[in-house]
Amino acid sequence: MRNLPVKGPLLFLIMVFVPFFLSIFYVNLLTEIFILGVFALSLNILVGQTGMVSLGHAAFFGAGAYAAGLAAIHVSTNTFLSIAAGLLAAFLLAVIIGLFSTKANGFYFLMLTLACSQIVYSIIYQWRTVTGGSNGLTGIAPIDLGANIVLSNQVWVYYFILVVFTIVLFLINRFLHSPLGSVLIGIRENEERMKSIGYNTALYKNISFIIAGTLGGLSGSLYVIFNGFISPAEVYWTASGSVLIMVLIGGAGTLWGPVIGAAFIVILETLISSYMENWMMIIGAVFIIFVIFAPDGMVGIFNALKKFFVQPKKLEVDADEPIIKPIKQETKMDG
Amino acid sequence: MEKDKILSLKGLSKHFGGIKVIEHVSLDVTAGERVGLIGPNGAGKSTLFNMIAGDLEPSGGTIHYYGDRINSMPNYKRTQKGIVRTFQKNNLMMGLTVRENILLVLQRINQKHTQWWKQATPGNYQLLFEHAGSLLHEWGLEEYSQTKVKDLSYGVQRQIEMIMAIAGNPKLLLLDEPTAGMSQVETDQIISLINKLPVEVTIMMIEHDVDVLFGNTDRVIVLHAGTLIADGSPEQVRENPEVKEIYMGKEVIANA
Ligand SMILES: Nc1ncnc2c1ncn2[C@@H]1O[C@H](COP(=O)(O)OP(=O)(O)O)[C@@H](O)[C@H]1O
Ligand SMILES: [Mg+2]
């Protein structure tokens, strides 16, 4: 998983040639996977890396999408302006929500993020004159890259989003195991101990929240560039639940897990929703199966299989028991 | 000689509900001193450390560190200023490797902890990794460098606690029963490594093995039921009738 720099370029090259072989239906499917991949990658910083389980991440997707759409309608159709507006809106929202939600832990954090995102949802839903209310934001013109390069062709949109996705993946690959990234991992492992070794954990939890929220806004603005439309449904709490499931099914805390989870859910949704109304129910069932049988997600299954088949010799040593056996020892005293 | 006074407690108290766990404890510690802290189980020793380290807020009294009142300073800031502690019960990032735990301390000391644009690999952070390696070498634990802490024995985890404290550039080092639950060999090793620390490091150590403590400190403080009942050289404290009473009488010596 960590040697992305070696495998990454090959994968990127394959993706560059995909539009030559697959129909536009599949190209659009891949575009959607990349967009939701960025969304899931952003939530993974919070959930997988810092250990803060949020059920309100759709608020940032929505903030990014609406801000990007509004910028395109009212200011200019320049892509970079739209994305900048989306990033800024999500950043500001993350600063505000982060300020008080990161003070809570565990279940209370989850409930607070859920409540905040539902407030964002109802503002969007009710502020008809600006957001179009339940009809969504319509009339977003095709986005251009400046210098009259209009992204009207879906294949060009695919390429543009592929590039953004690749940059995000590249940066997150570095960030995940960077010194700052390991501070977040340390907080996930033992926040009190991190304070004791000199880290202002409240600050780092806020930083994590802001990075995750801002990147969530990026995915929202990509969605608007791709779709030309955004509705409150994408900001509803079920959207937050869906991206959380992507992270958990794929493999929280890993680099590729969220992307794999996003691909899995997008493909599943496409397959099921064409002949079933309640596809969310199926996804819920799949999720429960994962929680019970594969808590480390698809990346966890993949690693286990790799261990089993690729390194059969090492297995004798690696199996079940650690080499150094933990000695169960009673501490005599209370702490 | 105010500036030599690294720590000064005045009338320090801690009450949990109606229970007075620490009651009016006053003491001064001079920079470079090696102070032992003893007392029966439940005397309030760990609670005293918790207040000095900022993990518990005092109910009354003051804590001064190098002359500054630090009563309301958060624990992480005290650590940044050199008050570094270990815990009576192992308290580590259990899912991370030994080296990752140590690097979390070293990267902060070396002001690298806000860097996000490159992976923490030996190539990118050569000095940090070398430092972590040399600490592990000194303690004879290199073989565990890449092992997750949760897969190690309690005694080895205990040593990792010590390494992390020492890696944190302590000025005032608070060791809460560093040898608890360790074999004799491990205990001897820990004590000899503590004695090798730079002379300017001030150490306060809670220790239940009275012999170990008396042989390796300049000064011994005795806590009993939340109050300070003796404070002096190991010889003085050994001869103190009240201390003798507690340790020879009906009371059980901690871990006896
Ligand atoms: N957070 C707490 N709440 C209530 N009582 C506590 C708390 N922490 C410690 N105590 C009590 O304070 C007393 C002293 O505890 P402690 O400082 O751990 O003693 P020592 O380290 O000397 O063995 C014990 O009786 C313990 O039960
Ligand atoms: Mg104790």
Pick A61 or A270 by higher pLDDT. Answer: A61
pLDDT recorded at residue A192: 96
B16, B48, B113, best to mutate vs chain A, most A CBs in 10 Å? B113
pLDDT at A52 over 50: yes
In chain B, how long is the greatest CA-to-CA distance? 62
A193, A197, A325, best to mutate vs chain B, most B CBs in 10 Å? A197
- Which among B94, B104, B147 is the nearest to A182, CB-wise? B104
pLDDT at A312 over 80: no
Question: Token pair for residue A26?
Answer: 């599949």
Of the candidate ranges B31-35, B143-147, B171-175, B239-243, the one whose mean pLDDT is the lowest = B239-243
pLDDT recorded at residue B21: 95
- Which among A174, A186, A335 is the nearest to B46, CB-wise? A335
**In a domain? residue A332:** no
B76, B81, B207, B223, best to mutate vs chain A, most A CBs in 10 Å? B76
Mean pLDDT value of segment B27-39: 95
* Mutational test site, ligand 1, from B16, B38, B50, B222, max ligand atoms within 8 Å of CB: B16
Closest atom, ligand 1, to C-alpha of B254: 23
Mean pLDDT value of segment A152-179: 93
| Closest chain B residue by Cα to residue A327 | B153
Q: Verify whether ligand 1 is closer than 6 Å to residue B41 (CB atom).
A: yes
| Closest chain B residue by Cα to residue A199 | B76
pLDDT at A6 over 60: no
Closest approach of B34 to chain A, Cα-based (Å):
22
3-state DSSP assignment of residue B30: strand
User: Do residues B117 and A207 make contact, with C-beta atoms less than 8 angstroms apart?
Assistant: no
How many domains does chain A contain in total?
1
Q: pLDDT class for A4, splitting at 50, 70, 90?
A: very low
Mean pLDDT value across chain A: 87
How many Å apart are CA A221 and CA A160, to the nearest integer? 13
Q: Verify whether ligand 1 is closer than 6 Å to residue B16 (CB atom).
A: yes
User: Do residues A158 and A222 make contact, with C-beta atoms less than 8 angstroms apart?
Assistant: no
Cβ within 8 Å of residue B126, ≥6 positions away: none
How many Å apart are CA A8 and CA A162, to the nearest integer? 13
| Closest chain A residue by Cα to residue B168 | A197
Task: Kindly identify the ligand whose nearest atom is closest to the C-alpha of B47.
Answer: 1
Mean pLDDT value of segment A142-153: 71
**Nearest CA owner, ligand 1 atom 24:** B42
The full set of domain ranges for chain B reads 96-168
Question: Token pair for residue A145?
Answer: 């890259």
pLDDT at B136 over 80: yes
Mean pLDDT value of segment B39-60: 95
- Which among A173, A190, A200 is the nearest to B92, CB-wise? A190
pLDDT at A54 over 90: yes
How many Å apart are CA B101 and CA B149, to the nearest integer? 8
pLDDT recorded at residue B252: 46
Cα A270 from chain centre:
19
- Tally Cβ neighbours within 10 Å of residue B149: 22
pLDDT recorded at residue B238: 86
> How many angstroms does the Cα of residue B43 sit away from the middle of ligand 1?
8
pLDDT recorded at residue A324: 37
| Closest chain A residue by Cα to residue B111 | A179
pLDDT at A268 over 80: yes
Q: Do B104 and A177 lie within an 8 Å CB cutoff?
A: no
Q: pLDDT class for A318, splitting at 50, 70, 90?
A: very low
pLDDT recorded at residue A280: 75
Q: Do B55 and A196 lie within an 8 Å CB cutoff?
A: yes
| CB crowding A71-104: b at 16 or more within 10 Å, else e | bbeeeebbbebbbebbbbbbbbbbeebbeebbee
> How many angstroms does the Cα of residue B181 sit away from the middle of ligand 2?
13
**In a domain? residue A122:** yes
Burial category of A18 from C-beta neighbours within 10 Å (exposed 0-12, middle 13-18, buried 19 and up): middle
pLDDT at A307 over 90: no
Mean pLDDT value of segment B34-54: 95
pLDDT at A209 over 90: yes
Question: Token pair for residue B241?
Answer: 């009738």
A-B contacts (CB, under 8 Å): 141
Residue at token pair 């490797």: B97
- Which among B74, B108, B155 is the nearest to A197, CB-wise? B108
Mean pLDDT value of segment B34-53: 95
Pick A169 or B239 by higher pLDDT. Answer: A169
How many Å apart are CA A288 and CA A280, to the nearest integer? 12
Residue at token pair 């407690």: B9
Q: Verify whether ligand 1 is closer than 6 Å to residue B44 (CB atom).
A: yes
How many Å apart are CA A322 and CA A331, to the nearest integer? 22
**In a domain? residue A155:** yes
Q: Do B104 and A183 lie within an 8 Å CB cutoff?
A: yes
**B19-30 and B5-16 strand pairing:** antiparallel
How many Å apart are CA A196 and CA B104, to the nearest integer? 11
pLDDT at A133 over 90: no
- Amino acid identity, position B198: P
Pick B19 or A275 by higher pLDDT. Answer: B19
Q: Verify whether ligand 1 is closer than 6 Å to residue B21 (CB atom).
A: yes
Q: Verify whether ligand 1 is closer than 6 Å to residue B45 (CB atom).
A: yes
**In a domain? residue A20:** yes
Q: pLDDT class for B3, splitting at 50, 70, 90?
A: low
Helix locations, A197-278, DSSP H: 201-227, 237-250, 257-273
- Amino acid identity, position A217: G
> How many angstroms does the Cα of residue A333 sit away from the middle of ligand 1?
10
Mean pLDDT value across chain B: 91
CA dihedral B162, B165, B170, B176 (to 10 degrees): -60
How many Å apart are CA A132 and CA A128, to the nearest integer? 4
How many Å apart are CA A71 and CA A81, to the nearest integer? 7
How many Å apart are CA B31 and CA B6, to the nearest integer? 5
How many Å apart are CA A125 and CA A288, to the nearest integer? 31
Q: Do B89 and A335 lie within an 8 Å CB cutoff?
A: yes
pLDDT at B230 over 70: yes
- Amino acid identity, position A276: M
- Using alpha carbons, select from A283, A297, A244 the residue that is nearest to residue A109: A244
**Nearest CA owner, ligand 1 atom 7:** B16
Mean pLDDT value of segment A28-35: 96
Q: pLDDT class for B2, splitting at 50, 70, 90?
A: low
A194, A196, A317, best to mutate vs chain B, most B CBs in 10 Å? A196
**In a domain? residue A182:** yes
Task: Kindly list the residues from chain A whose CB atom is less than 8 angstroms away from the CB atom of residue B107.
Answer: 179, 182
Q: Do B180 and A331 lie within an 8 Å CB cutoff?
A: yes
pLDDT recorded at residue A282: 81
pLDDT at A229 over 50: yes
Given CA atoms A220, A223, A229, A231 in this order, what sign does their dihedral have?
negative
pLDDT at B182 over 90: no
Q: Which 8-state DSSP code applies to residue A327? A: P
- pLDDT (tens digit, 9 = 90+) per residue, B108-123? 999 999 999 999 999 9
pLDDT recorded at residue A308: 82
pLDDT recorded at residue A284: 82
- Using alpha carbons, select from A44, A294, A82, A84 the residue that is nearest to residue A181: A44
**B60-65 and B68-69 strand pairing:** antiparallel
pLDDT recorded at residue A323: 34
> How many angstroms does the Cα of residue B21 sit away from the middle of ligand 1?
7
Strand order in the sheet with B83-85: B83-85, B172-176, B202-206, B34-38, B219-224, B227-232
pLDDT at A78 over 90: no
pLDDT at A220 over 90: yes
Q: Do A332 and B255 lie within an 8 Å CB cutoff?
A: yes
**In a domain? residue A246:** no
Of the candidate ranges A94-103, B7-16, B91-100, B204-213, the one whose mean pLDDT is the lowest = B204-213
How many Å apart are CA A220 and CA A38, to the nearest integer? 9
Beta partners for residue B91, in sequence order: none
Closest approach of A82 to chain B, Cα-based (Å):
26
> How many angstroms does the Cα of residue B234 sit away from the middle of ligand 2?
21
Structural domain range at position A126: 4-235
Q: pLDDT class for A38, splitting at 50, 70, 90?
A: very high
**Predicted structure pTM score:** 0.90
Angle between helices B98-109 and B126-138 in degrees, nearest 10: 120
pLDDT at A150 over 80: no
Question: Token pair for residue A147?
Answer: 């210098």
